[in-house]
Amino acid sequence: MTQTVPSDSADSSPAQHDEAAEIATAEQQAVQQLQTAYAQMRKEIGRVIVGQDLVIDQLLIGLFCRAHCLLVGVPGLAKTLLCSTVASILQLNFRRIQFTPDLMPSDVTGTDVLQDDPETGRRVFQFVEGPLFTNVLLADEINRTPPKTQSALLEAMQEHQVTVGARTWSLPDPFFTLATQNPIEQEGTYPLPEAQLDRFMFNIIVDYPSSTEELEILRQTTGSQQAEVSPVLSGEQICLLQDVVRRIPCGDHILVYARDLVRATRPQESQSPAFIRELVSWGAGPRAGQYLVLGARAHALLRGRGHVTTDDVRAVAAPVLRHRIMTNFAAASQGVTADDLIQRLLQEVPVELHERARRNVLGEE
C-alpha cells in the first residue's frame, strides 16, 4: 500500500496564508507611510532651510535609525535652525545647550536639590531634571566644554538613561542628540574623545551654499514674512517608523560588503590596502559596520525601495566613517583627509557575489 507523504504546502492552512498576507500588507503600508512622511518633512524643512539637501537627508536617516548626528560647519550655516525646524515638524520637545568652558555635568543631566517636605517638615533631596530630558537635544559647540562635561552625554546617547548618584532615570522616547562643531576655530576648544565620537552615527559636513541658494537665502530672510512649518509626525509615529527601518530585508552580500569596508580601514589587518597601512593610525570599530547597515536600510526606504543594495552602503559610507578613521602624520603632511581615504576604499573594496557572500556568512569558506 502506497503511503502519501504530505507536502509542506499542505501543512499550511488558509488562515496562515491570510495571516502572512496581512503581515505583508502591513509592512508595505508602513513603508509607504515612511516615504510619505519623508516627502512631507522635506517639503516643510524647505520652507525654512534653503539648499543643504544632502545634510537634510543624512539628518533624517540618522533620525529614522534612532541614532545621533554631529554637524560640522563654520558659523552662520543654519545648523541650529535646521535642528529646531526638524523638532518642530516632528512635534517633539527641543532643548538647546550652549556648551562653554565652565559648564558642569550637572548643568546637563540635572542634580539633586535639597528641599523642604511640607507633609513631614523634613528636608529631602529632590531630583531636578536638566535640559538632557527632552526628545531633540542640540549640543551647540560641543567642543567648547571640557571632557568631563562632554562625557555626561555618553550614557544618555547609548543607553537612553541618566544615572545621578544611586538612581537611574530614563529619557523620553524618542531621544535624538544633535551636536555642532566649528572646524576653523581651535583655540580654547576640547576635541571630542574617540569614545564619544563613536557614539555619533554620522559626522555631517555642512558646507557653504551655492550662489543661487545664497541669493534665495537673502531673499527669504531679509523680508517681513517669516516662514512657518506644520507638524508632520508625532513621537509615537517616529518610533514605529524606526522599527520599520530595521525590518527591511538586507542580503548577506550587503553584510559582507559592510564588514569588508570597515575592516579595510584598519591598518593592523593583513588584507587592508597599502595606503591604509601607510596613512592611518587607527581604523573604524564594529559599530561602524552596524551604522553602515542601518543607514543603508533607511537610505533604501527613503528612495522608495524595499530592499538594500551596495549603493546604499556607499551612500552613507562617508558620514559613518570619516570620524572613525584616525589619520597619522604622513597623511597630514601629504594633505590627505579621511574623506580622501574613504573614496579610495570605495573604489578598491570588492563587492562579493551574493552566493559567495552567503557561504562566507555561514562559515562555509
The set of cell numbers assigned to 17 is 496564508
Buried b (16+ CB within 10 A) or exposed e, 136-169: bbbbbbbbbbeeebbebbebbbeeeebebeeeee
Query: What pLDDT is recorded for position 233?
Result: 79
- Give the distance from CA 119 to its chain's centroid: 46
pTM value > 0.85: no
pLDDT of the residue at 5: 46
- Selection from 251, 313, 252 nearest residue 288 by Cα: 313
Q: pLDDT at position 15, please?
A: 57
User: What is the domain class of 30-222 according to CATH?
Assistant: alpha beta
CATH 3.40.50.300 maps onto the chain at 30-222
**Per-residue CA distances from 253 to 21, 248, 257, 269, 355 (Å):** 27, 15, 6, 21, 8
| pLDDT at residue 361, as a whole number | 55
Residue limits of CATH 1.10.8.80 in the chain: 248-365
Torsion of CA 146, 149, 154, 155, to 10 degrees: 160
Instruction: State the pLDDT at residue 22.
Output: 57
pLDDT of residue 360: 58
- The whole-number mean pLDDT for each consecutive block of 10 residues of the chain, a chain of 365 residues, reads 48 54 63 80 85 88 90 85 84 87 87 77 78 89 86 85 83 88 76 85 91 88 78 80 85 89 90 89 91 93 85 93 92 91 90 56 52
Question: The C-alpha cell of 337 is what?
Answer: 583627509
Q: What is the per-residue pLDDT for 69?
A: 93
CATH number 3.20.20.70 is the correct assignment for the domain at 248-365: no
